[in-house]
Structure 1
Amino acid sequence: MVRSIISVLMLCLMTHAVSAAQNTINDVRVSPDAAKTRIVFDVDTAPDFTYFTLKKPLRLVIDLKNTASTFKLSSVKNSGSLVRKLRYSTPKRASSARVVVELNRNAEPSLFAVAPNKSYGHRLVLDLADSAPEVAQKPASSSATSSSKQRVVIDESSSTRDRDIIVAIDAGHGGQDPGSIGPAGSFEKHITLSIAKRLQAMVDAEDGMRAIMTRTGDYYLSPNKRPEIARQKKADLLISIHADAFTQPQPRGGSVWVLSMRRADTELGRWMERTERHSELLGGAAEVISDKSSERYLAETILGLSMDHSMATSHDLGNKVIEELKAVTSLHKRKPQAASLAVLTSPDIPSILVEVGFISNPQEEKNLNWSKYRERLAKAMFNAAKRYFRQVPPDGTLWAAEKAKNRTHRVRSGESLSLLAQRYNVRVSSIKAANNLRNDVVRIGQVLTIPST
């Protein structure tokens, strides 16, 4: 009798746990390539997740909150050598799912959620950067066909050319540092992370762009560590998201902040004091410089130029963010403001800090707790970054290659095909072919497509 009662109780608890799960894993796809392995989890709704790594043996553990563990992970096809096995483990809560990715060797994980598009619904994407890529680990066997060898070469070159534009997204505060607290008790750290995750999804959904997060959960990260993470990931841009506050409830509106010249000069001096970083700043150039004093002056010059470029880019991008923000919220400042903020001090990465509003203002606190409002704020930052990089894409990126293919030129007085061919380093015949011209005659105001060299 007692056993029967216990069985019934256990069944009820299991049923309750399943019913409490709001999300479901519908499919899992593993896609290995030369440099990394991507695992995509198709889910019903936006995933709420955390993760951590374990050693001996190597494992990545993903906790999916309010998610059912009904999908059979044993059915997932995997042709790569990095991932050994996918399995479930016991979660902290019965309503959650814990997925364990067993690895054959070290790999650096990157996880992000992707919003639905025309082809797929909500997804959780896991990228595992392989510490020993297969191409370098073992050469292709002699029995491989020439076509398969050619495919390996193409894949390898694509990893270093036409790369993604990397946007580092920094959610302000976290962990024991809640940031500002609104009149209704809202924590800045939760608002900034929510907006950051929305911005991350937008960036990752855009071809040619990829987001990296300085923090993905509610934990503390020092302000100086945040730009360092962006540098380690070779980011092209750092966007730090915050919510302003004041002692009085009246102030409201968004603003954008960039590094002040005073802090930039101080930061430059601090970086130059770190002589052990000269080689890192110079890259391969330091290897061919034998005179250490010359190395120092060259590093100072290069770093100064890099800082100037980063600050100019930050101002330009800051203006674009303000233009987008004014369609979403009122503006506290209509131009980018300069301040000595630690998160903006990376000398070689354009960096901006976006204050999305005053959490100390009751109405703005209410707005910031509205999901659609956060989405609009993230969209404003995304549109600004997209507009900027479409105009000035970083060298070596997919967008730079696309822009080179689609160059146009409006003919001015005195210009000829031969002059344009010399200016753009292309053949006259190539310009004529790209524009379906039957002769060498062009007219003033005519827009010509300039083919890539």
Structure 2
Amino acid sequence: MLRLITFVCLMLTLAGPVAAAPNPIGSVRVAPAADKTRVVVDLSADTAFTYFSLHNPERLVIDLQNTSDDQDLSLQGDTGSLVRRVRYSTPKNSQSARLVIDLTRQADPNLFTIAPSGEYGHRLVIDLNDSQPGNAAVSAAGNTAEAVRMDSTSNQRDRDIIVAIDAGHGGNDPGSIGPSGTYEKHITLSIARKLAALFDAEPGMRSVLVRDGDYYIYPTKRPEIARKKKADLLISIHADAFSQPEPRGGSVWVLSMRRADSELGRWLEKTEQHSELLGGAAEVISDNASERYLAETIIGLSMDHSMSASYDLSKKVIGEMKQVTRLHKRSPQAASFAVLTAPDIPSILVEVGFISNPQEEKNLLWDTYRERLARSMFNATKSYFKQVPPDGTLWASQRDRNRTHRVQSGESLSLLAQRYNVKVSSIKEANNLRSDVVRIGQVLTIPRT
């Protein structure tokens, strides 16, 4: 018997490990975005994989080890314009599965696995970076006519003021979930679309939706999209939540000084992007040290202006929102939100209320209430830009023809000089002022620069 046991053990050792049962595929989800499309493959266990691309036609081939190929791969919902379908092909061996993603055009793939988290198990994530992101954005937004209008008007002097509106979360990220199951991502998109309609109906203003569908965009990518659209302002819309149902009310957030300092350093390290901020000056500066010094100066000034403008606008938004809803915070709050980190674009994040509060969830489900919230943001933004329209816009041209300012509470000559980019002495001379004291309600003539 001992010899028999020894023999069996020896044979098992020589035969090697017994093959494990195949790992079944749970499902396949596709989430299109403006610049890429994400494909997520749900798996029951961590799986080794290899992949390669094929051309004419464009395909991405993925080999999954120890995986079965009997799961239905039919896609549901909006898959965008890049991915045609996901299918099986002949695998390397009986213990593996070969997935093929048929594409409509070339894409640069990036694949990685994610460990289980929350309600999701093991996942293989395939990010397909679109070779024609402009086409994808137009397809996702269904806005071809608008894109043509943008191109035709981009070189006009009296251009529109462009407001980028970011609906928080989206796609596989629902955001906070209310007591009755309301998803934050749906509320934010609805308000964003209403706000966009108000801007588009206002002469001299135009909106850009960072996300116009149920797909996810990384927070750091959202200000990049706003910059590509040449936005003058970024408004990110969210709904707050807490572990208890009692907290309620809206709030407005700006970038914290600590995060601003770290972002300033990060931008200074991106030497290849200095020309983006320096414009044509970068082409004539041959000294790298001089270019870095100039970039540091410009980025620093740009960041200071953006943060100051963001704070001024946030106060106006709070003033308008308090007429619609209760406020959780009555003054602008500072935080390290990635969506607010553009150094050259004033950016605010608006929490429209606590979706975790049953009454506020009910309010947010009311279409008229969402319309009022959108209008409060619109009124505040319009009021702000009427005072300080960006150079080159229609509103700036109109302001210069009749440039006056009515002094409001908390304003001083030095503040007005900074806002309008003129000297204090010039304002005093234009208004025959002998001192730096101004009165609330006093109408001042602001000289042109």
- State if a TM-score over 0.5 links the two structures: yes
2:286 counterpart of 1:290: yes
Q: Which moved more, 1:284-293 or 1:338-347?
A: 284-293
Report the CA distance between 1:50 and its aligned residue. 7.8
Report the CA distance between 1:404 and its aligned residue. 1.0
1:36-62 Cα shifts (integer Å, max 9, x gaps):
xxxxxxxxxxxxx9895579xxxxxxx
Give the match for residue 351 of structure 1.
347
* Gap runs ≥5 in structure 2: 1-76, 84-133, 407-425, 428-440
- Counterpart of 1:253 (choices 243, 249, 253) is 249
- Counterpart of 1:330 (choices 312, 326, 330) is 326
Could you tell me the percent identity over the aligned residues? 72
Give the match for residue 109 of structure 1.
138
**DSSP-derived class of the 2:222 partner:** helix
Mapping for residues 116-127 of structure 1, pairs under 5 Å: 126-127=145-146
2:226 counterpart of 1:230: yes
Q: Distance in 2 between matches of 1:201 and 1:110?
A: 19
**DSSP-derived class of the 1:238 partner:** strand
**DSSP-derived class of the 2:370 partner:** helix
**Matched residues, number:** 293
2:316 counterpart of 1:320: yes
The amino acid of 1:228's aligned partner reads E
1:352-379 Cα shifts (integer Å, max 9, x gaps):
0000000000000000000000000000
Give the match for residue 300 of structure 1.
296
Native 8 Å contact 1:243 1:355 kept in 2: yes
Report the CA distance between 1:271 and its aligned residue. 1.0
Q: Distance in 2 between matches of 1:336 and 1:243?
A: 16
Report the CA distance between 1:159 and its aligned residue. 3.5
Q: Distance in 2 between matches of 1:216 and 1:407?
A: 37
Distance change >3 Å, CA 307–CA 446, structure 1 → 2:
closer
Distance change >3 Å, CA 380–CA 450, structure 1 → 2:
closer
1:271-310 Cα shifts (integer Å, max 9, x gaps):
1111111111211111111110110011011000000000
2:258 counterpart of 1:262: yes
Distance change >3 Å, CA 397–CA 166, structure 1 → 2:
same
Report the CA distance between 1:452 and its aligned residue. 8.8
TM-score normalised to the size of structure 1?
A: 0.59
Q: Which has the larger radius of gyration?
A: 2
2:388 counterpart of 1:392: yes
* Gap runs ≥5 in structure 1: 1-48, 56-104, 114-123, 134-154, 411-422, 425-444
Give the match for residue 341 of structure 1.
337
Mapping for residues 11-22 of structure 1, pairs under 5 Å: none
TM-score normalised to the size of structure 2?
A: 0.60
Report the CA distance between 1:160 and its aligned residue. 2.5
Mapping for residues 25-424 of structure 1, pairs under 5 Å: 53=81, 109=138, 126-129=145-148, 159-408=155-404
Distance change >3 Å, CA 107–CA 193, structure 1 → 2:
closer
Give the match for residue 99 of structure 1.
none
1:369-419 Cα shifts (integer Å, max 9, x gaps):
000000000000000000000000000000000111122489xxxxxxxxx
Native 8 Å contact 1:318 1:336 kept in 2: yes
Q: Distance in 1 between matches of 2:404 and 2:274?
A: 40
Native 8 Å contact 2:80 2:136 kept in 1: no
**DSSP-derived class of the 1:247 partner:** coil
Report the CA distance between 1:320 and its aligned residue. 0.2
Native 8 Å contact 1:110 1:128 kept in 2: no
Report the CA distance between 1:319 and its aligned residue. 0.1
Backbone CA RMSD of aligned residues? 3.4
The amino acid of 1:126's aligned partner reads A
Report the CA distance between 1:130 and its aligned residue. 8.5
Native 8 Å contact 1:257 1:354 kept in 2: yes
**DSSP-derived class of the 2:146 partner:** strand
